[in-house]
Structure 1
């Protein structure tokens, strides 16, 4: 018995916690109770709304990458990926090999979870010392403005990091749908890693090796309808702390917007496509050639929206810094060396505020 207890204790210690988020009311329940009002703590500051400049005409210019061509070594597609990462930081992926049934199953499972009564969902509420589970993230102060969204966060890989107490047992098909989709999203991410390795002057498996042990977290975002969508924001502007993010959008509702050319460009969903974006880690490794881009999510008055984000990240102990192969002889090194786990904890200890969290890793000459 003593050995059993010790082993369990050791396993639990291996499961890291990167931050905390203060508990707040469910936005979904706020809307259910009174769909005609917006509490003041969700109303955006006037100066934030005044900076809104929507560039809808650029939506069709967001790059679309054919993964089947890219993974087969098609040089033109590799060049397209280079342009996408350099000029946009975002791109959509088609012909990725994930069956439509797999995509629909995970979307359906996510929707069923958020349809559950509040008391059922609260069984999976985030603990006081962790951000895995049901609730909201990046809530660090009782005075800050809140996002118009509820989330469910789970660490999927490595499997020993999973905290299964936060993995919903209802609906009954939820865990299987998440497992199957996450495995496929991981594969897609690794295929993009291989191409990015080549673009950054390495062998195709070097970027994956650099991660030591690839970590993958899943965040399901639920954006309820809002009677005054111009007053709230689903997710505040931010860049991702990941290496790469794989996003499964709602096919019928546009909500994601990315910062480009001094304005916000809506990312119009393509049927069965995935949206990928460069994270802060790639910005550091590439010495700024590829930059993580601010993005946000907006709400609407007529239909709730769900998105499913998979964040692919290095192991906590990996030290990230610009790769020698990405530093030109005429170019300054722009970023400090930092342990990834320290950077992640720093980012999660703050409210979302654009790219302000990346000041920690920039050198003065940047």
Structure 2
């Protein structure tokens, strides 16, 4: 199985091309929860600059990772093994160096080009996220802009747009630690610029872990839990994970277009009987923070408003 690759430029093509592209997007959302976009409109020259500044950022941070808890934990396991003790893989820790940026956060000032490059990149991604959501609106039979309006509480709040810059450094014992534990994403639409040389990202499809194949210049899109709810289960958030690599350093830049914390999320706009509760996104995030690596269904149940008891 291969994660779908979609030529996004054909959305602006002739009617037949556009219809085929819309069908491919629908299939990616319904059958996979993941797809890759090529010819998406973000200049390749900008993507190369993003790759460069994020790799330089990691070089500056590398010493810190080597002194981090995952490294110390793995070293302790290896030492115990060498003493003849039985050791088990660590299942509550990720072999990952990360930092987050969003409009209200402090951004790295080194390398000097980082801020300008990432501002430019994030502006392009916002536009791409908007176009992807409009395609979802159309495929779901919703009014144009419906998903974005839901994310903003009908324009009363600003949706959250954050970027996670990750590196998965070489791991001497990939049998003892995960790169990133299996999970679904809490939010809305995730746009990932992944390493185009080093693999390791996998998505769960029909009970089988499948590579999200590295592809130069592509943007990987996946749907989060809130798209599953808004689509009333027609689109599903997909389980995914990252495997550690023994001899490679994998770069990953994931941007999350999420609802505002104050936005109310519900499947009311999609026909078919509401299979999910109505709730405030910030409440869902409170639950997700504690249950990220657990089954998602109890998270939806946890934010369901209790039914009022009938009057006596």
> Which residue of 129, 149, 152 corresponds with 2:99?
152
Equivalences for 1:92-107 in 2 at 5 Å? 92-107=36-51
- In the superposition, relative to structure 1, how do residues 180 and 260 fare at CA in structure 2: closer, same or farther (>3 Å)? same
Q: Any conservation in 1 of the 2:283–2:303 contact (CA below 8 Å)?
A: no
State yes or no: 1:208 paired with 2:140: no
Alignment counterpart, residue 322 of structure 1, candidates 231, 246, 267: 267
Counterparts of residues 162-201 of structure 1 (less than 5 Å): 162-164=104-106, 167-201=107-141
The equivalent of 2:233 in structure 1 is: 288
State the SS of the aligned residue for 1:335: coil
C-alpha offsets along residues 45-82 of structure 1, whole Å, 9 cap, x if unaligned? Answer: xxxxxxxxxxxxx1x3x111221122557111111111
Q: Distance in 2 between matches of 1:103 and 1:354?
A: 34
Give the structure 1 partner of residue 257 of structure 2. 312
Distance 1:255 1:220 in 2: 16
Deviations 1:295-336 (A, max 9, x none): 001111111111000000111111001033x222xxx42111
Residues 184/232 of structure 1: CA separation in 2 closer, same or farther (3 Å cut): same
Q: CA deviation at 1:119?
A: 7.7
Whether 2:54 is the aligned partner of 1:110: answer: yes
* Partner residue in 2 for 1:25: none
Distance 1:226 1:119 in 2: 15
Shift of residue 362, structure 1, vs aligned partner = 6.9
Out of 65, 69, 82, the residue aligned to residue 26 of structure 2 is 82
Kindly indicate whether the alpha-carbon contact (under 8 Å) linking 2:95 and 2:168 is maintained by their aligned counterparts in 1.
yes
Query: Match of 2:166?
Result: 221
Q: Does 1:260 align with 2:200?
A: no
Shift of 1:361: 4.9
Check the 8 A contact 1:93/1:276 in 2, yes or no.
Answer: yes
Say if 1:150 and 1:119 are closer, same or farther in 2 by CA, change over 3 A. Answer: closer
| Secondary structure of residue in 2 paired with 1:229 | coil
How many Å separate the matches in 2 of 1:282 and 1:69?
24
Residues 229 and 86 of structure 1: CA distance in aligned 2, closer, same or farther (over 3 Å): same
Distance 1:196 1:87 in 2: 14
Please point out which of 3, 7, 10 is paired with 1:69: 10
Consecutive unaligned residues in structure 2, runs of 5 or more:
71-89, 153-157, 307-312
TM-score by length of 2: 0.82
- The alignment covers a number of residue pairs equal to 276
Aligned equivalents of 2:259 and 2:190: distance in 1?
12
Distance 1:67 1:78 in 2: 9
Match of 2:287 among 346, 350, 355: 346
Gaps of 5+ in 1: 1-57, 122-133, 137-142, 157-161
Matches of 2:198 and 2:295, distance apart in 1: 24
TM-score between the two structures when normalised by the length of structure 1: 0.70
CA pair 203-236 structure 1, distance change in 2 beyond 3 A: same
Tell me the SS of whatever aligns to 1:218: strand
In angstroms, what is the RMSD of aligned CA positions?
2.4
